[in-house]
Amino acid sequence: MSPLRSFIALAIALLPIAPASARTVYRCIRDGTVSLATAPEPGSQCFAKELDDDAAALPNLWGQMGVFHGTLYKREQDGRTVYSTRNLPGSTPVLGFTVATPPGSPAHAGLGKVGTPRMDAFPREFKAAAKKTGVDEAWLRAIAHAESYFDPRAASDKGARGVMQLMPETIADYGVKDPFDAKQSILAGAKLLKSLWTRYEGDRVLAAAAYNAGAGAVAQYNGVPPYVETREYVAKVQALHARYRKAMKLPPLPDQLAPAQ
């Protein structure tokens, strides 16, 4: 049994509840860290995951973190015992564990190069799209920079069009009438990024990989696909995101989620 499956199996086994064929584990994100818990954590953004006890393989709930060590804690919450890998007030350590997640690499060529942030490009459009969708404007700008370097007439040999390099299916899904119109392109790109951010529960590495290679490829490889262009693209977006946050006088973010302690 893998370390990840062993940990989840152990966490489930510790629950004082009747036998069932499926259990719920919550993946909780706070301040750039991720934890697993048997109930939503106060102060964290948590996503419920149904786990089938009889499944041949359990899903990777951690993300791209390599090998790390953690501690399983227990505490009382709302009159019941809750188990979590985050050390919250009132927690008592139960046991230590080691998890080996699938290897990940920040890693699409795109049409833009890593360089000086361009805050002059479509400022009202980016601000409006970020406000409407709730997407981090710096991240939205980083994607646009990597995709087209803000060229509204950009076109790729794979069919992508406009500032956000929207593919034909995206153009259709989001009702874009003119993919070369910057306002329409930026808003549709922001909506797509929002859906990917939600799908991957705040993991921007996987969201960027899916924006570049498609969600199907991310699912197929259970992480960043092994395409050179995608790995290079993700690395570029990460670097650009940091630069745009700095240019916008926003605090830096960790490169990727880290396990909570």
Determine contact, residues 237/150, Cβ cutoff 8 Å: no
The residues, any chain, with a CB within 8 Å of residue 64's CB and separated by 6 or more, are 101, 102, 103, 104, 105, 203, 205, 206, 223, 224, 256
Q: What are 29's strand-pairing partners?
A: 34, 45
What pairs with residue 95 in β-bridges?
72
CA–CA separation, 49 and 30 (whole Å): 17
CA distance 134 to 199: 15
Q: Which of 41, 125, 137, 147 is catalytic?
A: 147
User: Looking at this protein, which amino acid is placed at residue 50?
Assistant: E
Q: Which two tokens stand for residue 125?
A: 């459009």
Other Cβ atoms closer than 10 A to 194: 18
**Phi/psi of residue 12, each to 5°?**
-70, -40
Catalytic, 147? Answer yes
CA angle centred on 153, ends 171 and 197, rounded to 5°? 45
* Of 96, 146, 97, 90, nearest in space to 118 by CA: 146
Residue pair 44/257 in contact by the 8 Å Cβ criterion: no
Distances (CA, A) of 87 to 30, 48, 84, 173: 12, 19, 8, 42
Catalytic residue list: 147
